[in-house]
Structure 1
Amino acid sequence: MRRAVLLIAMAIWPEMACAGLTEEQINRVTFDPPAGAHVPMALQFEDLGGHNVSVGSAIAGRPTLLIPADFTCRQICGPALTIANSALQQTELAAGRDYSVVVVGIDPHDTIDDARRFTAGQLGGAGTSVLTGSRESINALLDAIGYHAAPDSSDDAMAHPAAFATLAPDGRVVRTLSSLALQPTDLRLALLEAGRGQIGGLSGRIALLCYGFDAVHGIYTRRITAMLQISGAATVAVLAGFIGLMLLRRRRRGAQV
């Protein structure tokens, strides 16, 4: 997700988002995963129970929705989490069976209590991990996926992209999603794609093929684009052959007359 889909907050609350940051700092706030981006699976964080948890154990071999969040954010993080929770409930997929959810705090000053308050009544249970970590762990994770935030010390806030990511079971970044424009169907297909179509049964795999449109970027996925190009070329060839056959028959009839 490039600059065009970054920091929806800046459009909604520009005076807050830019309060203590320079234009140069704001321009560096991006979510642009490098080619082949992976989360570092061995990185250690702390869960809500105070236990050390690696990123790999939080993903647990399942396609994953990764939610970077500022647990003390007073602006968009709360609504974004509500949108994500609602969308997940409408995917007809089950957390802990079909996918995992990993919520990672991006501010090292946030505590476990901050994380509990932030997610209370929304995300939790099987397949969900809410993690806090050291500055080193947070920076290593965010740098690996191309997620760049900027702390605003004058307001104890973080300017950050309004975006989530889906991960393959091996930690590979598969897709980025706008956190404030998240639709259940888009999220379901993104999780199916992250799981290579192997979750949700046959209907899920068929849906992935039928609805290969990437609603976030407004383009078709590469695989679907190739399929459409092939099917389009085949259709043109069939039509051309049919028209040629009709013209040949008409000429033969004219010659007979």
Structure 2
Amino acid sequence: MRRAVFILALALWPTLAQAGLTEQQIGQVGFDPPADAHLPLSLQFTDLGGHQVSIRQAIGGRPTLLIPADFTCQQICGPALTIASSALQQTGLAPGRDYKLVVIGIDPRDTIDDARRFTRGQIGEEGTSVLTGSREAVAALLGAIGYHTERDSSRDAIAHPAAFATVAPDGRIVRTLSSLALQPRDLRLALLEAGNGSIGGLSGRIALLCYGFDAVHGIYTRRIAAILQILGISTVAIMGALIGLMLVRSRRHGASA
């Protein structure tokens, strides 16, 4: 996980290198969810309509793509939201029914108008929540999921990871994804994984079996390996039974002749 976080932070290096941040501050920027990280579901934020909404309400019991964003960011966040919106449209999953999209501002100074301008024309309304929050709410949320930022006072900007997260219906962080290299297939599989097979139909559950393959090490995860072993044993048993049945029939036919 930490290696992946480091790579995500490197995506920000050209910007950070020109910023008024020390090397130590730059090293603190990253997305490193602690083990069994969960969103604080009771935290209250404000949606685009000015209504108070809890994280639980925003997720609505659905697998969720969580996008932390700086609504006044002029460099990374805009293109990242465009990439995410395009990838979501290509997943074949239905917003609201199969998944939720939650975009949360990481700068408590951002206003609802900033959030509207940032997301206008970028994302649909169905199944989407765009939220701003108080300093305390934002700090609690980012701290719970291990999303580390640094404020650059000299440029009035926030250095932050180029990363999204998929979230299970109970608020558990399932997977982190690079926002600058997001592929529709990867996003679909990550949402299917967050839904634990509850969305995407039979094809989605089959895809999850394939998703259990670790391409880096060339092995299946322990759970998937066990399933494949059971399937393999079952296949051998069925083939053995069919061969035995064929031999019995052949002997009977020979005896009758």
Give TM-score scaled by structure 1 length.
Answer: 0.83
- Say if 2:92 is the partner of 1:92: yes
Measure how far apart 1:13 and its partner are.
3.0
CA shift for structure 1 position 130: 0.3
Equivalence for 2:35: 35
Give the total of aligned pairs: 233
Distance in 2 between residues matched to 1:50 and 1:216, nearest whole Å = 45
Deviation at 1:27, TM superposition (A): 1.0
Quick check: 1:104–1:131 contact (8 Å CA) kept in 2? yes
Partner in structure 1 of residue 254 of structure 2: none
1:179 aligns with 2:175: no
Quote the Cα distance in structure 2 between the aligned partners of 1:216 and 1:12: 28
SS in 2 for 1:176: strand
Other-structure match for 1:131: 131
Deviation by residue 1:158-187 (Cα, 9 ceiling, x = unmatched)? 111110000000100011001111100110
8 Å contact 1:162–1:180 — kept in the other structure?
yes
Distance in 2, matches of 1:50 and 1:193, equals 32
Partner of 2:247: none
Shift of 1:5: 2.4
| CA distance in structure 2 between the partners assigned to 1:217 and 1:182 by the alignment | 22
Cα drift, residue 212 of structure 1:
3.1
- Contact 2:12/2:161 (8 A) holds in 1: no
Residue 141 (str. 1) matches residue 141 (str. 2): yes
Between the aligned partners of 1:93 and 1:121, the Cα distance in structure 2 is: 20
User: Aligned equivalents of 1:36 and 1:101: distance in 2?
Assistant: 21
Which of 17, 20, 27 does residue 15 from structure 1 map onto? Answer: 17
1:27-83, CA deviations, whole angstroms, 9 ceiling, x for partnerless residues? Answer: 111111111100000000000111111000000000000000001111111110000
1:80-132 CA-to-partner distances (Å, cap 9, x unmatched) read 00000000000000110000000000001111111111111011312100000
TM-superposed deviation, 1:205: 0.7
Shift in CA distance, 80/222, structure 1 to aligned 2, threshold 3 Å: farther
SS in 2 for 1:7: helix
Letter paired with 2:154: S
Match of 1:191 in 2: 191
SS at match of 2:147: coil
Tell me how far apart the structure 1 counterparts of residues 63 and 125 of structure 2 sit (CA, whole Å).
Answer: 17
> Aligned in 2, Cα 1:219/1:151: closer, same or farther, shift over 3 Å?
farther
Following superposition, the deviation at residue 226 of structure 1 comes to 5.5
Whole-angstrom CA distance in 2 between matches of 1:4 and 1:220:
25
1:186 is matched by which residue type in structure 2? D
Rounded Cα–Cα distance in structure 2 between residues aligned with 1:91 and 1:26: 34
Does structure 2 conserve the Cα–Cα contact (< 8 Å) formed by 1:197 and 1:205?
yes
User: Residue 74 of structure 2 corresponds to which residue in structure 1?
Assistant: 74
Describe how 1:38-53 pairs up with structure 2 within 5 A. 38-53=38-53
Alpha-carbon distance between aligned partners in 1 of 2:37 and 2:152, rounded to the nearest angstrom: 27
TM-score (norm 2): 0.83
Which amino acid is 1:223 matched to?
R
Q: Which secondary structure does the structure 2 equivalent of 1:223 belong to?
A: helix
Cα distance in 2 for partners of 1:214, 1:149 equals 30
C-alpha distance in 2, partners of 1:22/1:82?
30
1:115–1:130 CA contact under 8 A, matched in 2? yes
Mind listing any 5+ residue stretches in structure 2 that lack a counterpart?
234-257
Q: Which residue of structure 2 lines up, in the alignment, with residue 103 of structure 1?
A: 103
Gap change, CA 1:215 and 1:132, over 3 Å in 2: farther
- For the residues of structure 1 that align with 2:217 and 2:154, how far apart are their CA atoms? 34
Q: For 2:114, what is the secondary structure of its paired residue?
A: helix
Distance 1:152 1:36, change over 3 A: same
Partner residue of 2:153?
153
The correspondence for 1:6, drawn from 8, 12, 25, is 8
Distance 1:49 1:83, change over 3 A: same
The alpha carbon displacement at 1:6 in A equals 2.4
Secondary structure in 1 matching 2:24: helix
Residues 70 and 158, structure 2, Cα contact 8 Å, conserved in 1 = yes
**1:9/1:75 contact within 8 Å kept:** no
- Taking only the aligned residue pairs, the percentage that are identical comes to 75
Letter in 1 for 2:201: G
